[in-house]
Amino acid sequence: MEHPFPTPPWARLPRGGVSFAPPPGWLDRSVVAYTSPAESTKPLAPSIVITREPVRPGDTLRLHGNRQLIELEAQLEEFELIESRDTELAGSPALFFRYTWVSHVGALEQTMTLALSMLEGEAVMTTVTTTAGCEDARDADAVFARMRETMRFEEPAPPEPVRASMVVAAPDAAAEHALPSFPMPGFGRSGRR
């Protein structure tokens, strides 16, 4: 019987005091997570989670961000987008979203910062997600902002390509009625659970 994975030796990778050898070709989808010390009176400690994943071919920061918002709106109960803006993270172009939703532990406020960066010469999407209970969000936000300010990428951000599909010509008056309409998260709650 043929083994489903290539046989070692594989390159050893250090991760948080542990090293291991993933098979060649496996993707690094590392997750870094930190939480504040838990308080016995709170159901949820504020936390920050950082993930990195390869950028899909042809993807842009905006396209990836729009896809994330669509998924959040579809998956999170009572999702409401509060803030959406362009920003920077560690000198790289980024998008920042602030939203609320209701989980099994109560009402939460989360932020998501998406940034294009490089890792070993390959473009990756770095996502920084912060979470706090709505009642703790303002206090936690200053800590989260400081943590984002301290972030650094080892390699500069990749240039974002401009594709023909990103360029939209202004419609003429006769064709304006034929333009499609796209729902925006937080607006038009028809069909919600």
Mean pLDDT of 159-169: 42
pLDDT of residue 76: 96
Lowest mean pLDDT across 15-19, 97-101, 127-131 = 15-19
Lowest mean pLDDT across 81-85, 121-125, 128-132, 135-139 = 121-125
Supply 12's token pair: 């050893």
Residue-wise pLDDT for 60-80, tens only, equals: 999 999 999 999 999 999 999
User: What pTM was estimated for this model as a whole?
Assistant: 0.70
Report the C-alpha gap between 154 and 119 in whole angstroms: 8
Instruction: Name the nearest CA neighbour of 61 among 161, 178, 183, 171.
Output: 161
pLDDT of residue 158: 66
Ordered domains of the chain (ranges, CATH): 29-34+43-155 (3.40.1000.10)
